[in-house]
Amino acid sequence: WEAGESPRRAVDALLHRIGDSEQLQETSKDFVLKELRAMIWTHRPRLLEAFQTYDRNSLRPPGNQDAAGPDWDPNILGAVTPEMWVGVMKAVLPTPSDFPWIEMRPYIAELADDGKVSYMDFLDRFRNPLSSWLTTKWCETALDRLAHIIEREPSAVFDSIDADGDGKVSYVSLRPFFRKHLYTTEPNSKKERRARDVQCFVLYRQFVSRDTTISRRKFIKILSARKPACSKQCAVGHRLASARLGVVRFFAAPRVCDDCNKAIGAFGENRFCRECDFDLCASCYQERCSRDQAHVNARKKVGESIMQNWYNLDTVHSALIAARCDVARLFAEEDAQGPAAPETMVSRERFVSIVSELVSGDTDSAGEMYNCIVRYLEEQGLDRTSRESDDLKVSELAEALRIVDARELAS
């Protein structure tokens, strides 16, 4: 995997700690599958982009490859042939040119009844529980920010993205919208660029669930339901229009603000709903805008904290993957001959001491990562009330940090 200077230092620190990583290898099959699982998981955004490009190009009219232009985006099928799947894997993942992808396909990608690979199901198959937990929480903050930032009706926003007007948009089409509204500057490192790719990927997954593309109805529903939109919509969810009553309308049909119950002035910039009997005076509108902005600022701060934890987790994962190490080995005693037993207890202090070596000596970040793992495990039902200390078991740390195959969990 592409490792910058910081991940490389993390790998060096880890190898220094665990010694010869060769002793950690399992059987050849298990080792290769474990490596592939991690590699696929870390490259999900680039894989999705490549799959949808292959998918889209396969639907172009024969002999007329350029007729529709570079932004042509038909109704993507969400599936590719095994040959296309192999082509994407070879193009995106850093494996040898002669790597036997076609032979490995049955172990990591299932074929549907039509003989094709559903690439969303394939990409969803590999996941890290803690990372998924963090990015889901980040998505909630990002959706709040999007709902606050966009000025037009969600329907109008969708229509501007849906170039071919078929009522669906793909990841390739929607990613520029996410980038435009969520980031004000260009990424200044490979680490930040990869983080943004992952953020766009998981945010897209929030919209599509198990589908391949986002429907117009679902796009509107999700953005209209966000809390920061209270200055832009009535209680039912209709978008508010802006207008001045004027003197004639003021005396002919007096209006009362639904927030403060006071008469609405003739010349203020008021808000009203075209579809139901809802009015908002200029003063209450500004108050709602202030509440919205305060909420979004707070959510942005929460989102930044979540992503800092994700950065640290990603660094630790990259180091473990590159050094071919597992959690049990990471937390083994330095003079131990093998990995730590699953029931071995790891204190917060020991966790910080070890993990801080992987995150450039940052003990504060390592400590927050420990707290984050505790919160995650408690949300999953971990009860530590009967323990004599707040330590975590090696097996619990391994559960939070492992990259899993969802098919194995279901079987």
pLDDT of residue 261: 93
Query: What is the reported pLDDT for 352?
Result: 94
Q: What is the pLDDT of residue 83?
A: 94
Q: What is the 3-state secondary structure (H, E, C) of the chain?
A: CCCCHHHHHHHHHHHHHHCCHHHHCCCHHHHHHHHHHHHHHHCHHHHHHHHHHHHHHCCCCCCCCCCCCCCCCCCCCCEECHHHHHHHHHHHCCCCCCCCHHHHHHHHCCCCCCCCEEHHHHHHCEECHHHHHHHHHHHHHHHHHHHHHCCCCHHHHHHHHCCCCCCEECHHHHHHHHHHHHCCCCCCCHHHHHHHHHHHHHHHHHHHCCCCCEEHHHHHHHHHCCHHHHHCECCCCCEEEEECCHHHHHHHCCCECCCCCCECCCCCCEEEECCCCCEECHHHHHHHHHHHHHHHHHHHHHHHHHHHHHHHHHHHHHHHHHCCCCHHHHCCCCCCCCCCCCCCEECHHHHHHHHCCCCCCCHHHHHHHHHHHHHHHHHCCCCCCCCCCCCEEHHHHHHHHCCEEHHHHHC
pLDDT at 197: 83
What's the pTM value of the predicted model, to 2 decimals? 0.73
Q: Which residues of the chain have pLDDT under 70?
A: 1-28, 58-76, 209-211, 227-229, 244-254, 266-269, 322, 336-337, 409-411
pLDDT of residue 87: 94
